[in-house]
Amino acid sequence: MNLRWIGKPIPRQDAWTKVTGEARYMSDLSMPNMLWGRVLRSPHPHALIKSLDISEAVACPGVVTVLTHHDVPGLNAYGIVVQDQPVLCSDKVRFVGDAVAVLAAESKEAAAHALELIKVEYELLPGVFDPEVAMQQSSPAIHAKGNVLRHSKVHHGDVEAAFADSAVVVEREYRTSRPISAFLETEGGMAMFGADGVLTVYCGAQYPDRDVIQVARALGLERDKVRMVSSLVGGGFGGKDEITVQIYLALLALNTKRPVKLVLSREESMVTGWKKHPMIVRMKTGASIDGTLLAHEVSIISDTGAYASLGGTILHSAMEHCSGPYRVPNVKVEGHCVYTNNSISGAMRGFGVNQVTFAMETQMDILAEELGLDRLDIRLKNGLKDGDKGALGSLLVTAMGPVQTLQAAGQTELWSQRETYKAEPSRPWKKRGVGLAAAIKGCGLGFRMPDFGAASVELLPSGFFRVRVGCPEIGQGNTIAFAQMAAEVLGCSVDQVEVVTGDTGETPDSGTSTASRSIYVAGNAIIDAATKVVELVEQGISARLVVDVEEVELGEAEVRAGDAILSYLDVAALLLQNGQTCYASGRFDAPKATEEVPSVYGLPHLVFGTNAHVALVEVDTMTGQVEVLRISAVSDAGRVINLQGLEGQSEGGAVMGMGYALTEDIIIDQGMVRTLNFNNYIIPTAMDTPPISTTVVEVVEKTGPFGAKGVGEVVCISITPAITNAIYDAVKVRVTELPATIERVLAGLQDG
Amino acid sequence: MFNKFDYVVPTSWADACSFMASHPTAMIYAGGTDILVRCREGRLLPSHLVDIKGLPGATAIAQAEDGSIVIGAATPLNAIERFLKGKAGYEALVQAAHVVGSWQIRNRASVGGNICNASPAADTAPALLVLEATLRLVGPSDERILPVGEFFLAPGKTALLPGEILRSIVLPAPAEPTVSIYLKAARTKAVDLAQVGVALLMLPDKNVRVALGAVAPVPLLAWSGRQSAPPANWTTEETERLVSVVEQMVAPITDLRATADYRRHMVGVLLRRAVGQATLLHQERGEGR
């Protein structure tokens, strides 16, 4: 394939405006006559609301409206899968931060003051904070239907017999932490009613079309009376997949008929934002003497916090990926997703896969050690290939990259020269280690959910092409990739393409900007639309200039028609006369597996991205401090669309997974979030970030646009066990609980 | 959300002091890197912020004729680092100034603010303690000189009287060849507050001083006294004796940054490393002469 734009490191069109601050996020917007919104939140993790008195707040100068559950005109609940989270709590609160009232005032100060004047009388209920306790029948019920949101089991093959045949069986328990996205832009935005009666909500979010459904349902409005604009977004990572503040903004604008702005403080975001599910993962893995994996028994208990959101789906994703990128013929996996009074867990980059991959990749290192095998060899031997069965027994029919990716990881300088890198620590009391790990992550929404891409491409009077896609730009760089894919098909320069994303008034519903899917589905839809537009242009010019269609050719800066050469401006002038358009919409329906995995809703995924990481760490044996000195990432993105974008994802993902490995954890004590800001929620700083090199392995996926898969999540997964495995390599401290804080590592050193 | 306050710019130290004396809820404002954060959190509700940066000498740093160094209270940490870098004996303060916050913060944050907050974890405090800094405190009617060791009374509480302002910090000229070291334990390489801070100063006459941060309610001068050997002949036994004496002095707490046990452990680790670095530095200096 002779490609002009695909794979090139084309700079992002939004790079300059973001660097200079010219770019506006939704929470940067403001309007004349704008009000400030605030949310009153529960200070208790579990309590009944006995009374609610807003009279003093309403009478407060500057306050325009104070709303409670009585003022929610439609369904007083939201949730992507199950609507169990009240917009405004009526009878009960289930976590610290649960919303009880929302108000709008003339100033931020008045809004803050009025918040203190709302009187809520609570009757405290016993809280449940340990998911294993919450599962017991005797525990206080957080929801009427009980505390187990989802319980699923899959068993294929014969695990018991395979364990009996195994030369070695490794059994461990792993516990993972509760990180939060820590996006640059906290949850926020603005809402206003237009003269046309349409309520427009500007809010950084990952799926504006679904937000419209949730907002309209809560407000009792028709969907076409609600418009969501959510691009540019200052980071999503899953934390803006579910509703954050959209409904509050909409309620306040509906009631005041004035523009309303509401932006969560960082502290409020830390308390009320969506976190990654903490999981207890018990794994028992059996292998033959040569390292061939034979049996795998897994139990997962996932703490979804007070409300469901995507908790059940995330549990299933964890189950599907419970053997990591490896082939195991006999697997038994059982998962529980459990309500607690601990904040709320939801989508976060990796969607359940980080937790189980950390566990599985630690198992692999332990197996290698017990069998005396090389850590890379045992992985290569078991790496999933096309035609293998996945952990849940479904057939893998797309381009699988684990073996190629691991081979490339083995060829990185960091791995092949690891003994040299380890030989000379910077101080006598420090020790170095190199760790290796790999991960797969399904792209897209799985078996049941509609999983489609939609886009339109049109020729503008200026001679430019406009591409419209619903999937918002959340910082990941899909905009430039969309432009490259359109330009590749159209034949024009990337500069000739304008991309609009994430505005339900402007863009076709193309599904979420989540699940590593926007390049894959929207890219295919763009190819479809752009192909049609090429035909329209060719046919139009052919008719106008009376030349054969075959003689019309769209080029980088001009269009050739027989002997004539036209600028795109000329082309537009010729084709867009008398109200004619040159427009096409495109559509792509993601292919599905031929059959669903029995007893787990919505699985399997069909397409998988792969990543491997090699990490070099240096551990201070006296302090427990772990320094990551180098990271080599190997990414199988299928065909790379934008190399710079891939490297950006790879580096950002590596740092995020490094934070997950070493420091990041929202600490909740009896339901109270104690890590309220970055003074105690510790993300790696620039100074903690090592050189990261990214190697590309293109295991081309034929259903992907130009052969691309999605990598937005898989880039952040295997780095975590690569680091913890490197810690073991350095000092023989086996990390089974995340994060591997200084003190946990020191405790391990002292025990050893 | 900020509480409302008035921003006041006095024109003389006397004006500033009398304003402070007549406005008990006013607070001194220098870099603002702590105070504004606390105002935003609602932990401080000052009626006035009195900006002393424009007052004579407030941001100046200079060496006096007697060799001592006078640092205006509002001098940013980066300026201190620049001025003292390479000056023998002051290493601990250079290192302490360098590990506060980030580069951007150190362009604003002042040494006066760092100690007037009276945080037990203030990085510059242990360094100033081992350097035996003295503080020039000016009041509405008179002024006084206070050793820094007498300045910290409790977490958030200093010896400043109503109306009194820290005007400058004086570092006496260290005897040649003094070496000092500040080491900090933290969860990240930048931005984090100290889990533990250890400052060590070794004088040529066998005198040694050790000060600690974040292991007691106040920054603590944990040891000041004569060892049996000069830095050149320092022994492991000497170090261990010092560590065991210093470890007796600490009373750490457990918080989100570290457990009390870890803090206790780290005092010994950092002190041993400080001794190692200081003796090495001493040796290098000796060879360079």
Chain A residue with the nearest C-alpha to that of B185 = A623
User: What is the C-alpha separation between A589 and B153, in angstroms, rounded?
Assistant: 70
A145 to A90, B44, B181: CA distances (angstroms): 18, 45, 62
Q: Where are the domains of chain B?
A: 1-52, 179-288
Both A239 and A353 in one domain: the answer is no
Q: Of A621, A663, A682, A751, which to mutate for an interface test with B (greatest number of B Cβ within 10 Å)?
A: A682
**B188·A688 Cβ contact <8 A:** yes
Both A566 and A611 in one domain: the answer is no
Choose among B4, B187, B190: nearest Cβ to A687: B190
Q: Please answer whether residues B29 and B50 qualify as being in contact, where contact means their C-beta atoms are separated by less than 8 angstroms.
A: yes
pLDDT beyond 60 at B288: no
pLDDT (0 to 100) of residue B177: 87
Residue finishing a domain among A543, A568, A589: A589
pLDDT (0 to 100) of residue B7: 97
**What is the number of domains present in chain A?**
3
What are the helix and strand counts (H, E) for chain A?
20, 30
A303 exposure class (CB count in 10 Å sphere: 0-12, 13-18, 19+): buried
Mean pLDDT of the residues in chain B:
95
**Which residues in chain A show pLDDT less than 70?**
1
pLDDT beyond 80 at B289: no
pLDDT (0 to 100) of residue B182: 98
Whether A19 is covered by a domain: the verdict is: no
Domain that holds residue A524: 452-589
Both A583 and A599 in one domain: the answer is no
Q: Where are the alpha helices (DSSP H) in A175-226?
A: 208-219
Q: Which of residues 39-68 of B touch A (CB under 8 A)?
A: none
**B259·A679 Cβ contact <8 A:** no
Chain B within 8 Å of A16 (Cβ-Cβ)?
no
CATH number where A207 lies: 3.90.1170.50
Please indicate whether residue A489 or residue B229 has the higher confidence score (pLDDT): A489
Shortest Cα distance, chain A CAs vs residue B262, angstroms: 7
Name every chain A residue with its beta carbon within 8 A of the beta carbon of B269. 622-623
Name every chain B residue with its beta carbon within 8 A of the beta carbon of A109. 1, 4
User: What is the C-alpha separation between A205 and B283, in angstroms, rounded?
Assistant: 60
Region at A707 (left for phi over 0; alpha for psi -120 to 50; beta for the rest): left
B253-261: average pLDDT = 97
Whether A130 is covered by a domain: the verdict is: no
Tokens of B84: 């003292």
Name every chain B residue with its beta carbon within 8 A of the beta carbon of A116. none
Whether A517 is covered by a domain: the verdict is: yes
Q: Of A108, A622, A663, A664, which to mutate for an interface test with B (greatest number of B Cβ within 10 Å)?
A: A622
Choose among B185, B192, B266: nearest Cβ to A682: B192
**B188·A623 Cβ contact <8 A:** no
Residue finishing a domain among A546, A568, A589: A589
Tokens of A431: 């020790």
The residues, ordered by sequence, that sit 6+ positions from B159 with a Cβ below 8 Å of its Cβ are B137, B146, B150, B151, B152, B153
Whether A46 is covered by a domain: the verdict is: yes
Q: Of B2, B43, B119, B191, which to mutate for an interface test with A (greatest number of A Cβ within 10 Å)?
A: B191
The residues, ordered by sequence, that sit 6+ positions from B43 with a Cβ below 8 Å of its Cβ are none
pLDDT beyond 90 at B213: yes
Both A315 and A382 in one domain: the answer is yes
ipTM rounded to 2 decimals: 0.95
pLDDT (0 to 100) of residue B228: 84
Both A713 and A611 in one domain: the answer is yes
The residues, ordered by sequence, that sit 6+ positions from A568 with a Cβ below 8 Å of its Cβ are A459, A463, A464, A492, A496, A557, A558, A559
Size of interface A-B (CB pairs under 8 A): 44
Shortest Cα distance, chain B CAs vs residue A669, angstroms: 11
Chain A within 8 Å of B190 (Cβ-Cβ)?
yes
A594 exposure class (CB count in 10 Å sphere: 0-12, 13-18, 19+): exposed
Both A42 and A58 in one domain: the answer is yes
**A685·B187 Cβ contact <8 A:** no
CATH number where A323 lies: 3.30.365.10
SS3 B119: coil
| pLDDT tens digits for range A99-143 | 999 999 999 999 999 999 999 999 999 999 999 999 999 999 999
**A685·B256 Cβ contact <8 A:** no
Tokens of A220: 């009792």
**B265·A686 Cβ contact <8 A:** no
**B190·A685 Cβ contact <8 A:** yes
Choose among B1, B193, B269: nearest Cβ to A108: B1
Both A363 and A467 in one domain: the answer is no
Shortest Cα distance, chain B CAs vs residue A746, angstroms: 9
| pLDDT tens digits for range B99-153 | 999 999 999 999 999 999 999 999 999 999 999 999 999 999 999 999 999 999 9
Name every chain A residue with its beta carbon within 8 A of the beta carbon of B265. 746
**B257·A742 Cβ contact <8 A:** no
pLDDT (0 to 100) of residue B227: 85
Give, in words, the CATH class of B179-288: alpha beta
Chain A within 8 Å of B259 (Cβ-Cβ)?
yes
pLDDT (0 to 100) of residue B230: 81
Both A651 and A573 in one domain: the answer is no
Q: Please answer whether residues A526 and A486 qualify as being in contact, where contact means their C-beta atoms are separated by less than 8 angstroms.
A: yes
Both A219 and A84 in one domain: the answer is yes
Name every chain A residue with its beta carbon within 8 A of the beta carbon of B189. 685, 687-688
B179-187: average pLDDT = 97
Chain A within 8 Å of B262 (Cβ-Cβ)?
yes
SS3 A382: helix
Three-point CA angle A288, A388, A704, nearest 5°: 145
Both A440 and A570 in one domain: the answer is no
Chain B within 8 Å of A742 (Cβ-Cβ)?
yes
Q: Which of residues 660-719 of A touch B (CB under 8 A)?
A: 663, 667, 674-675, 678-680, 682, 684-688
Name every chain A residue with its beta carbon within 8 A of the beta carbon of B266. 623
pLDDT (0 to 100) of residue A599: 85
Please count the CA atoms within 13 angstroms of the CA of B81 that sit on its side-chain side: 16
SS3 A131: helix
pLDDT (0 to 100) of residue B287: 66
User: What is the C-alpha separation between A437 and B130, in angstroms, rounded?
Assistant: 47
Both A735 and A612 in one domain: the answer is yes
CA A283: distance to chain centroid?
25
Q: Where are the alpha helices (DSSP H) in A220-330?
A: 246-256, 266-272, 311-320
Whether A142 is covered by a domain: the verdict is: no
Token pair 């899909």 is found at A478
Residue finishing a domain among A263, A288, A319: A263
Chain B residue with the nearest C-alpha to that of A666 = B256
Both A578 and A608 in one domain: the answer is no
pLDDT (0 to 100) of residue B1: 65
Domain topology for B1-52: 3.30.43
Q: What is the DSSP letter of B160?
A: P
- Exposure pattern of B251-277 as b/e (b: 16+ CB <10 Å)? ebeeeebbeeebbbbbbbbbbbbbbeb
